[in-house]
Amino acid sequence: MAIVKPFKGITPKKELVSKVASLPYDVMNRVEAAEMAGDNQYSFLHVVRSEIDLPEVENAYDPVVYETARKNLDRFIAEGTLETENEPIYYIYRQIMNGRVQTGLVGCTSIDDYMNNVIKKHEFTRPAKEVDRINNFDHCDANTAPIFLAYRKNDEINQIVNDWIKFHMPVYNFTSEDDITHIVWKLDESSLISRISEIFDGIDYLYIADGHHRSASSVKVGLKRREQFPNYDGTEEFNFFMSVIFPDEDLFIMDYNRVVKDLNGHTKDEFMQLIADKFDVEKVEQNEPYKPMSRATFGMFIDGAWYKLTAHKGIYDENDPVDRLDVSILQKNLLDPILGIDDPRTNNRIDFVGGIRGLKELEKRVSNGFVVAFSMYPTTMDDLIDIANAGEVMPPKSTWFEPKLRSGLFVHRLF
What digits encode the pLDDT tens for the residues 210-252? 999 999 999 999 999 999 999 999 999 999 999 999 999 999 9
Mark whether 78 and 223 lie in a shared domain.
yes
Residue 346 has pLDDT above 90, yes or no: no
Mark whether 228 and 352 lie in a shared domain.
no
Residue type, 258: R
Q: Which residues, other chains included, contact 174 with Cβ-Cβ below 8 Å and sequence gap of 6+?
A: 17, 18, 21, 181, 182
Q: Report how many domains make up the chain.
A: 2
Mark whether 295 and 262 lie in a shared domain.
yes
pLDDT at 373: 98
Q: Is residue 68 part of a domain?
A: yes
Mark whether 152 and 17 lie in a shared domain.
yes
pTM (whole model) above 0.75: yes
Q: Quick one: average pLDDT of 43-72?
A: 96
Mark whether 154 and 188 lie in a shared domain.
yes
Mark whether 10 and 85 lie in a shared domain.
yes
pLDDT at 126: 82
Mark whether 116 and 144 lie in a shared domain.
yes
Q: Is residue 394 part of a domain?
A: no
Q: Is residue 340 part of a domain?
A: yes
Q: Is residue 392 part of a domain?
A: no
pLDDT at 25: 94
Q: Is residue 185 part of a domain?
A: yes
Q: Is residue 141 part of a domain?
A: yes
Q: Is residue 396 part of a domain?
A: no
Mark whether 134 and 239 lie in a shared domain.
yes
Mark whether 289 and 145 lie in a shared domain.
no
Q: Quick one: average pLDDT of 342-357?
A: 93
Mark whether 148 and 295 lie in a shared domain.
no
Boundaries of domain holding 47:
4-252+402-413
Tens of pLDDT, residues 148-201: 999 999 999 999 999 999 999 999 999 999 999 999 999 999 999 999 999 999
Residue 125 has pLDDT above 90, yes or no: no
- CATH for 341: 3.30.1760
- Contact (Cβ atoms closer than 8 angstroms) between residue 33 and residue 54: no
pLDDT at 109: 98
Q: Is residue 18 part of a domain?
A: yes
Mark whether 20 and 155 lie in a shared domain.
yes
Tens of pLDDT, residues 359-391: 999 999 999 999 999 999 999 999 999 999 999
Mark whether 70 and 198 lie in a shared domain.
yes
